[in-house]
Amino acid sequence: MTKEEKKALLYSPDHGFDRFPQDEKETMHTYCENYKAFLNCSKTERECVVSAVRLAEEKGFVPYRYGMKLASGDKVYCINRAKGIMLAVIGEKDLSFGANIAAAHTDAPRLDIKPNPLYEEAELAYLKTHHYGGIRKYQWVTVPLELHGKIVRRDGSEVSVSIGADPDEPQLVISDLLPHLGREQGKKPLNEAIPSESLNILIGSWPDKEYDGSDRVKLAVLELLHEKYGITEEDFISAELEAVPAVMARDIGLDRSMIGAYGHDDRVCAYAELAAILQLEKPMRTAVCIFADKEEIGSEGVSGMQSEEFEHFMAELCKGQNVDLRDCFAASFCISADVTAAYDPNFSEVYERRNSAYLNYGIGLCKYTGSGGKGGASDASAEAVGRIRSLFNCNGVFWQMAEMGKTDAGGGGTVAKYMAKRNIDTLDAGVPVLSMHAPFEVVSKLDCYMTYKGMKVFFEQN
Ligand code: MN
Ligand code: MN
């Protein structure tokens, strides 16, 4: 055996930057700038849908209407209750040959405003919150916040809310204890030091001067809201308002090799899918790109990946071709495009170094997620992993295997199991993230780009 042959026996990938093709550097740069722009105007699942529609229509996608006749090469999208979207490019082959499906989620951990949120205490006005998804509560205090969402008023009319993103607009914040008085708090475990009911957002401090009743600061805030949005206090009950970190996507590192932002999980994969399907012209197999909602709370509800809205859309596409939906699913393949944990040397004790994903080694393939012995994982087959591995190897897509962390350290899940349950072969794949679920998460540009490239070759697959 030669030295080269011996080396080929070992699995030890080189750093992505060392083998990155010179002629793709500009493409990677442009891709990442576009991704940052997408993030900056897509801070909630609703805004992700708006952004996706804008970009898709520029590329000739049209809204799907039930019963519409479609031909190969046609590009359609279908919005699910303003919070999810499915885009499809119809293939040359009919749907009995299956579809290439990529499913990501665009909801992200955040602080939702409670149905009766507004109160005054010590002449300060606050909004009470109920956190959405898995957050580390101590990370959300003293972080500037924006408020985004929708209010349905008493008369049924709707108004969209966005406060804090524009530099001229005010922002909101949750206060924290000063260290001088934090002796007792400092002794508590991290997950108890900031109780959920203390995550109250400071929203005003000036009273209504004319009013002589109580709660004059609260009233002054309501007056401002009434003026701007035409709402009364009762209207909060039919509102979905989300407090999200007031941060713009920024390059991280002196070498600008990374991107810091809120909501990389999972908009970094959602954007990769979207950018890939927008490039597609006449694929052999029908390509489907999904932005799902509610993944962070178990993919529940009508806008989550467990919803039959997906069957509804796919069955419609199949019906137009006289294909049974079950035959289509059985022949389809799904990439559950979701982020994974990147190895963090500051917390090496929770990672298993030989099976962790690292920044700059490309898209992470997760054979299984789950916790406590693969509990809750769909556990992709060797064949499913083999198929994607070979596809990526043949097309210059850098990839790595990824387990979230040590088996006993915890775990997590994705939409993969809900796709697999539909009799669709499914593999998890996505970008490794540092500080996942924090108000400011970090990813590597190279991994973002490789995930996009991976989605593109996946959609182009025959
Ligand atoms: Mn995710
Ligand atoms: Mn998540």
- At 301-358, the pLDDT tens digits run 999 999 999 999 999 999 999 999 999 999 999 999 999 999 999 999 999 999 999 9
| CA 2 vs CA 5, 7, 285: distances in Å | 5, 9, 42
**Closest ligand to residue 435's CA:** 2
- Percent of the chain surpassing pLDDT 70: 100
Mean pLDDT of 143-155: 98
- How much is the average pLDDT of 209-213? 95
**Sign of the torsion formed by the C-alpha atoms of 43, 44, 45 and 47:** negative
**What's the CA-to-centroid distance between 10 and ligand 1, angstroms?**
31
Cβ neighbours of 335 (radius 10 Å): 29
Strand residues in 208-332 grouped as ranges (E):
239-245, 250-252, 258-261, 286-292
Residue 249 has pLDDT above 90, yes or no: yes
Closest ligand by atom to 269 CA: 1
Query: What is residue 77's predicted lDDT score, i.e. its pLDDT?
Result: 98
404 alpha carbon to ligand 2 midpoint, in Å? 12
* Euclidean distance between CA atoms 142 and 165, whole angstroms: 17
The burial of 7, by beta-carbon neighbours within 10 Å (0-12 exposed, 13-18 middle, 19 or more buried), is given as exposed
Mean pLDDT for the chain overall: 97
Say if residue 130's pLDDT is above 90: yes
Identify the pLDDT of residue 66. 87
How far apart CA 402 and CA 431 sit, in angstroms, is 10
| pLDDT one-digit tens code per residue, 382-435 | 999 999 999 999 999 999 998 888 998 888 889 999 999 999 999 999 999 999
In this predicted structure, what is the pLDDT of residue 69? 92
pLDDT tens by residue, 191-207:
999 999 999 999 999 99
Our CA angle for 447, 448, 449, nearest 5°, is 90
Give me ligand 2 centre to Cα 279, in Å.
Answer: 27
Residues 68-105 as b or e (16 or more Cβ within 10 Å = b): eebeeebbbbbbbeebbbbbbbbbebbbebbbbbbbbb
Ligand 2 centroid–CA 135 distance in Å is 9
pLDDT of 269 > 90? The answer is: yes
The CA distance from 392 to 399, in Å, is: 7
Calculate how far, in angstroms, residue 207's C-alpha sits from the geometric centre of ligand 2.
40
**Do the Cβ atoms of 417 and 336 come closer than 8 Å?**
no
For residue 435, report the distance from its CA to the centre of ligand 2, in Å.
11
Query: Which ligand gives the minimal distance to the CA of 106?
Result: 1
Q: 225 C-alpha vs ligand 1 centroid, how far in Å?
A: 33
Residue 167 clears pLDDT 90, i.e. is over it: yes
Residue 439 has pLDDT above 90, yes or no: yes
How far, in Å, CA of 43 to CA of 146, rounded? 9
> Which ligand is the nearest neighbour of the Cα of 134?
2
Instruction: Identify the pLDDT of residue 228.
Output: 97
Contact indicator for 293, 301 with CB cutoff of 8 Å? yes
pLDDT in tens, 344-389: 999 999 999 999 999 999 999 999 988 888 988 889 999 999 999 9
Give me the mean pLDDT over the 99-128 stretch: 98
CB 95 within 8 A of CB 333: no
**Which residues does 311 contact at the CB level (< 8 Å), separation at least 6?**
325, 422
What count of Cα atoms within 13 Å lies in the side-chain half-sphere of residue 314?
27
Q: Could you give the CA distance from residue 415 to residue 268 in angstroms, rounded to a whole number?
A: 15
- Cβ count near 59 (within 10 Å): 15
What is the predicted pLDDT for the residue at 376?
86
Q: Is the pLDDT of residue 223 over 90?
A: yes
User: 265 C-alpha vs ligand 1 centroid, how far in Å?
Assistant: 5
State how far the Cα of 434 lies from the Cα of 360, in Å rounded to an integer: 12
Which ranges constitute the DSSP H helices of 124-233? 190-193, 216-229
Q: What is the mean pLDDT of residues 123-151?
A: 98
- Residue 298 is which amino acid? G
Residue 423, token pair as written in the block: 């009799």
Of the candidates 119, 128, 113, 152, the residue with the CA atom closest to the CA atom of residue 221: 119
pLDDT at 384: 96
b/e per residue 240-266 (b: at least 16 CB within 10 A): bbbbbbbbebeebeeeeebbbbbbbbb
How large is the average pLDDT for residues 112-120? 98
Ligand 1 centroid from CA 420, angstroms: 17
The helix (H) or strand (E) run that includes residue 370 is: strand 370-371
pLDDT at 149 over 90: yes
Structure-token pair, residue 199: 């995550």
Q: Is the dihedral of CA 42, 44, 48, 49 positive or negative?
A: negative
Whether pLDDT at 144 is above 90: yes
Question: Containing H/E element for 62?
Answer: strand 62-63
Q: Which residues surround ligand 1, an ion (CB under 5 A)?
A: 265-266, 338
Neighbours of 414 (CB within 10 A): 30
pTM: 0.97
Which pLDDT belongs to residue 410? 87
